[in-house]
Structure formats: C-alpha cells, structure tokens
Amino acid sequence: MKTALVLVASTLAGKTLAGAGNQSPSCTDISFPVTVTAANAIIPITTPITFQQVSGTYNIAARYCEPQNFVESRENTLQVLVHGITYTRNYWSGDGTLETSYDGAMYSWIDFASKQGYPTLSIDRLGNGLSDHPDPVNVLQSPLQVEVSHQIITIARNGNLPISKSRKFDKIVYAGHSYGSVLGNGLTVKYPNDADATILTGLTSKYNFGFIESVFVPAVVPASTVNPKKWSTLNSGYLAIDNKTAFELGFYYPGYFDQGLVDLDWENSGTVGEGELESALVFGPEVATGYVNPILDITGQHDSLMCTNPDPITARTPTGLWQTYNCGNGDNSSLAETKSLYPNADYEYYAPLASGHCLNFHYDAQLTFDYAHNWLNWNGF
C-alpha cells in the first residue's frame, strides 16, 4: 500500500508542477508576539502531579518562505515546522539558512517543500534561537509550548503573520521533529482541529528509556558550563549536551551520514529547558481520540531515542563499538503501534531504513522529504 502511495503520488506531484515557473525562494525572518496561559507542572514533578498556572506574552522568531514554484491549490496551505531539542528553525534548512545550508538543498526540507509549491513557517521554539528565553523550569514546559503552537496557527489562519504577502491560510500542515512532534501530539490532543494534516518525525508511542536514561540524560548539563562564552547569561535551568559521542549516539545511525554535517550539527547544538525535558518524559505522547485528520509518522528505522529493540550486532565506529536500535517491522513495529495514539484518524507511517533520530540529516533525507510530500499530495494538500 505504501509503495503504491509513493508511486502514484509521485506521478500526481509531477503533473501538478508541470509548467510552473521556477523562481528563487523568498524567505523573510520575522518575529511576532503570542499571549498564552497553561497549567504547567510544579517541578520537581511528584506523584500525583501538581500544577500551577503560567501566563505571559512572548516574542516568537521564525522564518517565512514563499515557495519557489507557484501551485495555486497550495497558495494558502502553510507548513508550520517545529524543531526538536537542541535545534532551531535551521533544522529544516540543512542546519543553516537556505543560503548557508550544508551541501546545498540535500538536507533542506524547506527547499523541497518550496519546489512543491508550499509556503513554510519554521519557528524558533520559545526558549530557543532568537525567540524569547523565559524561565526554563516553570515556563518552558510542554503544556505552555502547545499553547504557543496553537497561537501561531491561529495567527496564520487569521491572516496576521507579519509577512509582505499577507493572507489567511485556510489549510495548516503541522510538521514536527522529536520534541516538536511531542508538541504536535499535544496539539492534536487539545486542539484537534488546528492542523488539517500532521506529520510527526522522530516520535513513536514508546520512548527508549533505557538509552535515554543511561546515555542521553547524563550528558545534559547547565549550558553555561558547556559554553560559557555563548551561554553565560542563561539561567542554569537551560541545559546543553556536553558529550559529542552521546550526541552522535542519540541522533545518528553510523555509516549513513556525512561526518562534516555531524561536526557542524555539534558546533551549532543549542539548549533545552529543564522543564521541557522533564515534562516531555513525564507527560509523554498521549492518545488523541478527537483528532480525525490525516497523520503521518516518519521515524528512522534505527532511532536510538524511539526504537527499543537493540540490534544484535553493534556497529563499529572510529570511537569503538556503537549499540544501535531497531524499530522492528510489520504490525508489531514501533511505528505501527503508534497508531494506538490516533484511533480515529487516517494514520500512515514510514521508517527510512538508513536513518537514526535526526532523519533530516542522513543520506536518505531526500527519500524522507519525498515520502512526506507525496503523502501530502495523496491526501489532497
């Protein structure tokens, strides 16, 4: 079924773009305020969980791109792109701007979407990049971040984005990666009508807690101690990864990535709020019974953070043996089981065979982009 979807959608996409003018993408860095209120957990989190109301107005930085190719049916369909932990909006454009992305368009979701006629809005999540940096413990938690996403979508639908070609977007495609997918799941739970289609990448219904707790969490320390020159002014609740090996183990599948890109990715690595990390692990992905729109899960076959089955043979790397993980195949795979989160939705999944967690930055990134956009086309977007 999925093979047929790819073949048919590829044909349809080709017909859609036939004769379209090929222009340079037009991207603008923008900023706009959101006012949000949420019930966040009191940290340290206890059982039962106790909550406190948090409110505020925060500036969100983003990059808005008009597509290279004009497709009339997609003119008012906006892709809202939400990055994961330690990243910024640049995750969606090859770890840089469109002009500075690594290896041209090879790893740029935005460039691929632009050629297919989709406008995109890639945001710096609150607490990241050029967006405001509020209290990382009490404010930066999943419930409030979901409200931020909801407000961004509301602003886009109402035609209030600060862009030159102002218009109301009547269709929203939410695409998240990792923690951005956790928030996407939270959005489908609380606001099931916000997104007309949802793409979750780097997320399954079950975390690989064994790997996360033994390798990843111990490498996350106050950012100000990791890079004092860069982060000395940040509250100690802003955390960063201090171990490049743990970084690679968590985000990459050995043998299937460009080491130059990994080195750049490590150099550009950012922060995460303590509240984001704790709330993501405690609240987890939830069942979204009210969400009925199309949803696609794309997670690497060897995602160390999301695949729980250890591969029987470890990979050999320049630094030694590397334990890898597998999401399995068929109806018992981690991706197939994630359908349980969306019992009333049209759910599809795709596992890039040679990808780890940060699937946009592996050699098969173009296959991932192609599958996602074929799926969108197949579903009428």
| Burial annotation 125-156 (CB, 10 A radius, 16+ → b, else e) | bbbbbebbbbbbbbbbbbbbbbbbbbbbbebb
- The ranges of the chain with pLDDT < 50 are 1-22
Superfamily in which the 25-378 domain is placed by CATH: Alpha/Beta hydrolase fold, catalytic domain (3.40.50.1820)
> Half-sphere exposure (CA, 13 Å, Cβ side) for 133?
17
Strands, E, within 132-247: which ranges? 171-177, 197-201, 220-222, 238-241
Distant-in-sequence, close-in-space partners of 140: CB < 8 Å, separation ≥ 6: 126, 127, 134, 237, 273, 274, 275, 276
Q: What is the pLDDT of residue 284?
A: 83
Could you state, in order of their start, the residue ranges of all structural domains in the chain?
Answer: 25-378
> How confident is the model over 67-77, as pLDDT tens digits?
999 999 999 99
pLDDT of residue 11: 36
Residues 99/106, Cβ–Cβ less than 8 Å: no
- Specify the pLDDT at position 17: 41
Please report how the helices 142-157 and 274-283 are oriented relative to each other, as an axis angle in degrees rounded to 10. Answer: 90
Instruction: Output the pTM of the full model.
Output: 0.93
